[in-house]
Amino acid sequence: MVSTIVRGDWIELKLGIMETDGLSRKLNQTDIPEDSGSAEIQLSDQEALDLATHLKEKLTAGLPIDSDPESINTMIAGLGDPRGLLRRSFSESLGSVGKAAVPALCQAMKHSSQVTVRRAAAKTLILIADPASLPDLLSAFLSDEDSVVQGSTMGAMAAMGEKSITVIMSVVGNPDSTEMQIGLANWALTLIGDRAPSELRKAANSENLNVRKASILALSSQIQTLEIEEDRKILINALSDSCAEIRAEAATFLGQIGDTTRDAPLLIPLLSDPDAWVRKNSALSLMKLRATSSIKALQDRIDKEEDKIVLNVLELAINQINKTTNN
């Protein structure tokens, strides 16, 4: 078994033994067409184990990891090892090297024929969080068919906080993005959350539906109160958004952090929303707010409601609010 890394820039390697920190490693040049622009470094199982052990000892001792190109590429070769603990040692070592390892990691992530290497390279870039890797992360995210690579590249973008917002939003706003890609982008924006409030608030007013939806979802997971007027305005606008999913999310959000006296009147009109999901979420939020002022509206809606699920929620909301009143 060997661990392999495909390098984007052709570097002539002679067969033989090269010494690095007292460790011997064989560099095998494979038969690759001249126009492929790539070469492979291969480590045997024992060589990978020896190097991983050596690197772990250096990390444990707080010693710096060698950051010359040969050392970096050898560690990247180790990312293809089938042993998870060894891959972790190589990844942590490359993470310790930091920005110097980014170009080679990006090459491996984009061009390695081994999915294990592409996955590990993307995960290692999470540790480094260098904005210089954003173009390559986006490229790999959009082109690699492996779901782990996609998730890890988006995770690496999220690790950069507000510096990656524009790139992530480009995925959300792209009409060619798949549902999975948009879902991962939404997840990343939620992870970023309060590290980029101004960017998310600005995006909440976007004309692009998916961008607007993603930003509101991200904000809803971070905003704890509605005392900030700008946040309150965003939420009120979301309640009347043309997208039913945004209205439904806003209704749920209001039930979590809203004020009964002030915010229940905003939810009552949504009991007549054309979308069943919005009606259901509004009723649940009125129940959470214990809005006794909404009982009549809830009862009136029961006589008109045709959706069985919403009807059950309306009855539940009335019962729970009445129990609260009686207690």
Q: Is residue 27 part of a domain?
A: yes
Q: Is residue 49 part of a domain?
A: yes
Q: What does the pLDDT look like over 56-94, one tens digit per residue?
A: 999 999 999 999 999 999 999 999 999 999 999 999 999
- What are the start-end ranges of the H helices in the chain? 45-60, 69-78, 84-97, 102-111, 115-128, 134-143, 147-158, 165-172, 179-192, 197-203, 209-220, 229-239, 244-257, 260-267, 276-288, 295-302, 308-326
Length, in residues, of the chain:
327
User: Band of the pLDDT at 222, cuts 50, 70, 90?
Assistant: low
CB-based contacts of 139, cutoff 8 Å, min separation 6: 110
CB-based contacts of 326, cutoff 8 Å, min separation 6: none
* 108/185 same-domain check: no
Selection from 74, 6, 10 nearest residue 40 by Cα: 6
Of the listed ranges 129-133, 317-321, 323-327, the least confidently predicted one is: 323-327
Q: How many domains does the chain have?
A: 3
According to the model, what pLDDT value does residue 215 have? 83
Please compute the mean of the pLDDT values over residues 315-322 and round it to a whole number. 94
Q: Which domain holds residue 289?
A: 223-229+239-327
User: Band of the pLDDT at 12, cuts 50, 70, 90?
Assistant: very low
User: Band of the pLDDT at 277, cuts 50, 70, 90?
Assistant: very high
* 24/96 same-domain check: yes
According to the model, what pLDDT value does residue 258 have? 76
According to the model, what pLDDT value does residue 327 have? 63
According to the model, what pLDDT value does residue 217 have? 78
Q: Is residue 153 part of a domain?
A: no
Better-predicted residue by pLDDT, 143 or 258: 143
Strands 17-20 and 2-7: unpaired
* 246/318 same-domain check: yes
Q: What does the pLDDT look like over 91-127, one tens digit per residue?
A: 999 999 999 999 999 999 999 999 999 999 999 999 9
* 19/115 same-domain check: yes
What mean pLDDT, rounded, does the chain reach?
A: 83
